[in-house]
Amino acid sequence: MQKAEAQAREAQIEASLERGRSKTMAMHNSQDVGETAAVMVDELQRLGIENNTMWYRYHARTRRYGSLDYFNR
C-alpha cells in the first residue's frame, strides 16, 4: 500500500514538473515570466506546499534576468 502511495505521489510531482517545464518552454519574452511564475506557484500549492514566496531578479545594469529563489515560510 505504501509503495502505491509513493508511486502516486511521484506521478503527481512529475505531472507538476511537466506543466512547469511546458510553460517555461513556451516563453517568448520577458513578459511571460510572471505567468510562468504563477504556474510554478500553482503547481507547488497543488502539491501541498503552501505559504511560499518567489523572487525573480532583473539586473538593470546588465539588463539580464538573474536567479529564481523559492522560500517556504
pLDDT value for 72: 65
Contact 32, 26 (CB under 8 A): yes
pTM of the model as a whole: 0.66
Q: Where are the domains of the chain?
A: 2-72
Residue 24 C-alpha cell reads as 517555461
Alpha-carbon span 36 to 31, nearest angstrom: 9
Tens digit of each residue's pLDDT (9 = 90 or more) over 19-63: 999 999 999 987 788 888 888 888 988 998 876 666 666 666 777
